[in-house]
Amino acid sequence: MASSPAAPASTAAALTERGRQKADRRAAILAAAATLFAERGYAGVTIEDLGTAVGVSGPAVYRHFPGKAAVLAAILEGASRALLDGAERVLDEASEPERSLRALIAHHVDFALGDADVILVQDRELEQLDAGARHDVRLLQRRYVEHWVDVLSRLRPDRAEAELRVRAHAAFGLLNSTPHSARIPGRRPADGTIRGILEEMAWASLMS
């Protein structure tokens, strides 16, 4: 799950100059890949495209990832982990369920509006992963959903967990709608306005 050959354990960060450059390149490839995958789909992007997007060309990408699928896997695992970590951080700070739900919603909106490309790829390209990576991502997603279900079941103990799970998924669809529709032309309201609308709608739908 970590790096390959006996990584310098804890002091991994302050390595040499080359070490940081490599990390930067890797991050740049991931960022460019998210944008390109969102625009053209995983299959519509070539390894050469990924290289060109970060200023190297072609097979240099293989110095950072073992293959094209690994790039997608890194994006999806990163997204799932970021979403999950954020949710757990947010839940540590608020114990009252109403506050917790509002915080969960706000955090999800932040992510959806901030990393729209990643959300799009996450929604669309999960199936392209090999069984192992797909399973890992699904596990992270499941844990994320369960946090939502936990909070919801404290707010509405009368409702079955199965219903709350359907409601959580529906809320994700609602909150992720902007990355999907943003590609359609037409003027949209400012991000701040959209954020308010989505938070209000998500709350109302979940508590209805």
> Binding residues for DNA, per CB under 7 A?
5, 16-18, 21-22, 25, 43, 45-48, 51, 56-60, 62-64, 67-69
In the complex, least distance from residue 198 CB atom to a second copy, rounded to whole angstroms: 6
In the complex, least distance from residue 81 CB atom to DNA, rounded to whole angstroms: 23
Q: Which residue has the tokens 């959209």?
A: 194
Q: Where are the alpha helices (DSSP H) in the chain?
A: 17-40, 47-53, 68-93, 97-114, 116-124, 131-155, 161-175, 177-181, 191-207
- Asked if 135 and 142 touch (Cβ cutoff 8 Å), the reply is no
Q: Which of 30/206 has CB closer to a second copy?
A: 206
Count Cα neighbours of 125 within 13 Å in the Cβ-side half-sphere.
31
In the complex, least distance from residue 128 CB atom to a second copy, rounded to whole angstroms: 7
Q: What's the DSSP call for residue 55? A: T
Q: Which of 125/150 has CB closer to a second copy?
A: 125
Q: Which of 16/95 has CB closer to DNA?
A: 16
Q: Residue 103 binds what, of a second copy, DNA, none (CB under 5 to 8 Å, by partner type)? A: none
Is residue 194 at the binding interface for a second copy, with CB under 8 A as the rule?
Answer: yes
In the complex, least distance from residue 34 CB atom to a second copy, rounded to whole angstroms: 15
- Asked if 56 and 20 touch (Cβ cutoff 8 Å), the reply is no
Measuring CA to CA, which residue among 121, 114, 118, 105 is closest to residue 174? 105
Q: Which of 56/182 has CB closer to DNA?
A: 56
d(CA 178, CA 41) in angstroms, rounded, equals 18
In the complex, least distance from residue 77 CB atom to a second copy, rounded to whole angstroms: 17
Is residue 154 at the binding interface for a second copy, with CB under 8 A as the rule?
Answer: no
Is residue 80 at the binding interface for a second copy, with CB under 8 A as the rule?
Answer: no
Q: Which residues contact 104 (CB under 8 A, 6 or more apart)?
A: 87, 90, 91, 147, 148, 151
Is residue 167 at the binding interface for a second copy, with CB under 8 A as the rule?
Answer: yes
Kindly state the number of chain residues that form the binding site for a second copy, as judged by CB under 8 A. 51
* Footprint on residues 28-57 left by a second copy (CB under 8 A): 39-44
